[in-house]
Structure 1
Amino acid sequence: MSSLVRGLTLLGSAVVLLFGGVLGFQLLTSRADTADPVPTCMNRTVKDGERLDSNLVTVNVFNASTRSGLANRATINLQANGFLGGTIGNSTSSAKPSRVTILTADRKDPRVRLVAKQFKDKVKYAKPDVTVETGVIVIVGNKYSGLKSKTPTKITSDRTIRACVPIVLP
């Protein structure tokens, strides 16, 4: 009886080994079935003299305060005004605002002007020393007091601006 059990165990092990070897070889040599890449955003262009809406402007908000979650709250409020949420986090910038600072090389950029109009506080400006993919960079400090209750969500552009608007898939 024990030799029969050993024989069946050996036969079962051999079948499992053979099956695993064949399946493994097929997986090793098969083509990867990859889907075609789906675009994550749609390019939009606003020309000189056209209206730039807040839903074409990405805002990255960084917290330079000791108040936890301040950048997240500011981003949520900006999104309620139609802005696209960008990067949120703690600031690594050398700019240490008491209220609000926008990092930009061009204060007259319509995106920067539209974002600056949102804040209750007087906005200060500094040269960018934080790297983000795209959008306006805002740094909030300890005395940040929020957004105005009624602010414009569009501005006339004085230049051609290209924006990539995220595509929301069903």
Structure 2
Amino acid sequence: MNRAYQALTLLVAAAIFGFGGIIGFRLLTSSADTGDPAPTCSNQTVKKGEKLDSNLVTVNVFNASNRSGLANRVTINLQANGFLGGTIGNNESTFKPRRVVILTEDPDDPRVRLVAGQFKDKVAFRKPDITVERGVIVIVGDDYAGLKSKAPTQIMTDRDITACVPTVPLP
């Protein structure tokens, strides 16, 4: 019985080894799954003359102050007003505002006007010298005073605006 047990053990080990070798070879030689990733956002359009809500506006906030975490706190406060949080970081722009500056090619853009209306400070506008993927670029400085307590969260648009709203894929 001892010899039969050894033979059976050897046979089972060989079968496991053979099966593992086949599966390993198949995994080694298979092609990678390079399907298109799911979209991370869906486009929504607000027509001219309609109200643009803050939940369709992404805001990127950069800290030009000596106060650690200021950009993060400003982003959290803007998100409490419904805005979408974008990039947060230290200022890499050449502009070093004392209070608040918005980098934009068009200060009359309804998205920019809605964001500018959030701040207690008088907002300055400058041409962008840094780029982000999308959204309004805000830089806050050492004398930043905060957000208005009852700032508007909607604005009437004077043009069609398409916003990319993040989607959360469901399993």
The TM tier, using the shorter chain, reads: 0.7 to 0.9
| TM-score, normalised via structure 2 length | 0.85
Gaps of 5+ in 1: 1-9
Q: Give the match's secondary structure for 2:129.
A: coil
Alignment of 1:1-170 (within 5 A): 18-30=18-30, 32=32, 37-169=37-169
Whole-angstrom CA distance in 2 between matches of 1:82 and 1:39:
22
Q: Give the match's secondary structure for 2:155.
A: strand
Q: Give the match's secondary structure for 2:43.
A: strand
Query: Deviation at 1:38?
Result: 2.7
Query: Deviation at 1:29?
Result: 3.0
Query: Deviation at 1:110?
Result: 0.4
Whole-angstrom CA distance in 2 between matches of 1:57 and 1:138:
13
Q: Give the match's secondary structure for 1:72.
A: helix
Fraction of identical pairs, as percent:
72
Whole-angstrom CA distance in 2 between matches of 1:54 and 1:82:
5
Query: Deviation at 1:166?
Result: 1.2
Query: Deviation at 1:24?
Result: 1.6
Whole-angstrom CA distance in 2 between matches of 1:15 and 1:160:
67
Query: Deviation at 1:12?
Result: 9.2
Whole-angstrom CA distance in 2 between matches of 1:134 and 1:101:
17
Cα distance change on mapping 1:110 and 1:32 into 2, 3 Å: same
Query: Deviation at 1:11?
Result: 8.8
Query: Deviation at 1:48?
Result: 1.0
Aligned Cα RMSD in Å?
2.7
Gaps of 5+ in 2: 1-9
Count of matched residue positions in the alignment of Structure 1 and Structure 2: 168
